[in-house]
Amino acid sequence: MNVLVTGGAGYIGSHTCVELLQSNHNVVVVDNLCNSKREALSRVEKITGRRLAFVQADIRDRNALDAVFSRHPTDAVLHFAGLKAVGESVAQPSRYFENNVLGTKNLIEAMGDHHVKKLVFSSSALVYGSEYAPPLTEDLLPNPGNPYAENKAEIESMLQDLSGADAEWRIRILRYFNPVGAHPSGLIGEDPQGKPNNIMPNITQAAVGRLSFVEVFGNDYPTHDGTGIRDYIHITDLAKGHLSALQRLSKGANVLICNLGTGRGFSVLELISTFEKAASRRIPYQFGPRRPGDVPVLFASCTRAEKALVWRAEKSLFDMCKDSWHWQNMNPGGY
């Protein structure tokens, strides 16, 4: 297949490009590099021994998208491009709406005009909000608790309406839980700009001395060790979930929402102690207050993805920690 990957230079996009190229798909990446580096794509080519096409463009730029679709025959789009920092979305809601919601609207209009009607979209477990008890199933009504999660819920709804209006569209909406880890080669991985928001880059940066300690938000949750429990999923398992979704786009419902997680939760302290074993070093940490909106326990029901995508996450928490460490140790300053 000829696959257009928006946001392909980013963390999840770059790992998915590896899987696509290794499965003999042709890849065109569109990315404005606002949160990534071109180097990630050179590394993807190094890992796979294959070339991809790169267009530095913004998905809000309709002329640029038209040029891409005119020049590159496209069968399907994997849409990762977006801003993803929850705190930033609270501070800059209109920027997030403009980039994420209006950017996606622009993309699907360009796709429709160029008769490209196969789409896999990156959504988030954050659309469930904080009210539901796990395991979270896809039929729960979205209950987003911040502007970023609202963007995802609005896009999901727009895609469902689109499918209702035009049955030619084939759409998969994938709700990620907590992607961590890196490609086992250590050549690509998560490389946040500025202070990392997610727990794993905080741990890896503390491991290489870029941060003096990891702040653990809350140790008074009703869990076995007081810290929050999350469903961590290895980035290569997540990337493979996209390939399964792509391969089965023509089968089943026109539009389908699927969780991508492992269905198992681990506490922050379990994550840190597993990392310490994988990296053979101690990780300094300090407890801070709970973050507003955080819930004690979150993990996915994976039944739908297992059935509809014929996909299941395979890698362990130890694999996630080992590969995250390998990446950061080989690239202490990132790309």
Ligand X SMILES: NC(=O)c1ccc[n+]([C@@H]2O[C@H](COP(=O)([O-])OP(=O)(O)OC[C@H]3O[C@@H](n4cnc5c(N)ncnc54)[C@H](O)[C@@H]3O)[C@@H](O)[C@H]2O)c1
Contact residues for ligand X, defined by CB under 6 A = 7, 9-13, 31-36, 58-60, 80-84, 99, 103, 122, 124, 176, 179, 198
Least gap, CB of 13 to ligand X (angstroms) = 5
Least gap, CB of 308 to ligand X (angstroms) = 19
Comparison of 60 and 62: residue with beta carbon closer to ligand X = 60
Comparison of 80 and 325: residue with beta carbon closer to ligand X = 80
Comparison of 174 and 216: residue with beta carbon closer to ligand X = 174
- Helix axes of 268-279 and 199-207: crossing angle, nearest 10 degrees: 40
Least gap, CB of 228 to ligand X (angstroms) = 15
96 is catalytic: no
What is the rounded distance in angstroms from the CA atom of residue 51 to the CA atom of residue 53? 7
Tell me how far CA of residue 71 lies from CA of 28, 67, 81, 234, in angstroms: 10, 6, 20, 34
Q: Pick the catalytic residue from 11, 96, 128, 148.
A: 148
Least gap, CB of 123 to ligand X (angstroms) = 7
Least gap, CB of 97 to ligand X (angstroms) = 12
Q: Which residue is nearest to ligand X (CB)?
A: 10
Comparison of 94 and 280: residue with beta carbon closer to ligand X = 94
Instruction: State phi, psi for 63 to the nearest 5 degrees.
Output: -65, -40
Residue 154 and residue 127 in contact, taking contact as beta carbons nearer than 8 Å? no
Comparison of 83 and 257: residue with beta carbon closer to ligand X = 83
User: Which residues are catalytically annotated?
Assistant: 148
